[in-house]
Amino acid sequence: MAEILQSFSNLWLTTGLYNITLGQGIMIAICLFILWLGIVKQFEPLLLIPIGFGGVLSNIPVAGIAALSVSTVDPSGVVTTAFGGFLGQVYGFGIESGLFPLLIFMGVGAMTDFGPLIANPRTALLGAAAQFGIFFTIFGALMLGNFIPDLTFSVKEAASIGIIGGADGPTAIFLTSKLAPELLGAIAVAAYSYMALVPIIQPPIMKLLTTEKERMIEMKQLRHVSKREKILFPLVVLLLCVCFIPDATPLIGMLMFGNLIKECGVTERLSKTAQNELINIVTILLGLAVGSKLASEKFLQFKTIAIVILGLIAFCVGTASGVILAKIMNLFSKNKINPLIGSAGVSAVPMAARVSNKVGQEYNPSNYLLMHAMGPNVAGVIGSAVVAGILLAMLGK
């Protein structure tokens, strides 16, 4: 009888109810809220649902699902590897190596039409202007420690926080995994949350910075872009990247490769795979791996709140910068740009472009800005990848 009671006692000591901590309980509640946002509110469900579920798994006590694999070398030189949980292995394989964000970029390239940017190259400036939010927030994060000593960020951490302003989840994950992997959970959740909240965050900023007359500006129909131009574009961008910013080549290279197999017209099977099966599989694994970094001991820190706030500032400044530059360009241009498309310079493709179009039609129902907004939108994707390459070249060596 005593042995039976001891067995039950041992079983109780291994249960989640006995081992769960307050922090784990709080994080499970937060991750359930993330799942609610994805399922009920449909905010970026393709990523928030895997991230939220991965976060729940990573906070299950005892199981060690998110534990990383650890290799040790004994004095005789024998290497022993203690394999971690399955989420930890997925994280090591796909995130630490930088593989998953690159595969996501390839899929994004295969789904992207660079025609609007080629037809109106000056909209690339709006995509570049939106990256100002990244640099603004980097300096803000570095200066924050002067006012709040507990919120002192290193240069690498500040760079990882600032990249949230690009509203590009894969780029944020890629750069953070290289510079500040300990912040990956907070930065990934912030980046994808703000991408999902584009329709809520951007319109007030757009309306604040523009007049009703500016919002009603109608833009001329874009010229036709030939197949040859669409094929040459990814090759030219790649070569420029190789010449000037080699550290951005992984991201830019995969983006342009995906676009090339789409536009060349002779690799339809590859293009469809990149757009569908491959990107869907990687999205599932990427979301679960990011969720594995939402463990309570890493996420429930005062710095996490600061990161979320700084990320919001970066996103808002990036949105405002694109709108303001469009207004400045109109001072020197005969063919006016509707400043609303400047907000699409953040690389939340294609949601930011849709928001520009929606706000424009509120004031002029016959005004169709979607294709015009796609110019700065896809330029923002390239711009955020370029900025990531610059930061990696400066800080990651």
The angle formed by the CA atoms of residues 344, 350 and 355, to the nearest 5 degrees, is 55
Average pLDDT over residues 121-131: 92
Looking only at the bridges linking them, the beta strands covering 79-82 and 70-73 are antiparallel
3-state secondary structure of 354: helix
Residues 176/182/188/190 CA torsion (nearest 10 deg) = -110
DSSP states along 117-183: HHHSGGGHHHHHHTTHHHHHHHHHHHHHHHH-GGG---HHHHHHHHGGGG--HHHHHHHHHHH-GGG
Mean pLDDT computed over 209-226: 92
User: pTM score, two decimals?
Assistant: 0.90
3-state secondary structure of 79: strand
C-alpha to C-alpha distance for 350 and 258, rounded to whole angstroms: 17
Please classify residue 318 by burial: count the beta carbons closer than 10 Å to its beta carbon, then call 0-12 exposed, 13-18 middle and 19+ buried.
buried
Integer Cα distance of 323 and 198 in angstroms: 15
Query: Structural domain boundaries of the chain?
Result: 98-211+225-395
List, for residues 129-178, the tens digit of each pLDDT value: 989 999 999 999 999 888 888 888 999 999 999 998 887 889 999 999 88
Q: What is the pLDDT of residues 249-308, one digit of tens each?
A: 999 999 999 999 999 999 999 999 999 999 999 999 999 998 888 888 878 788 888 898
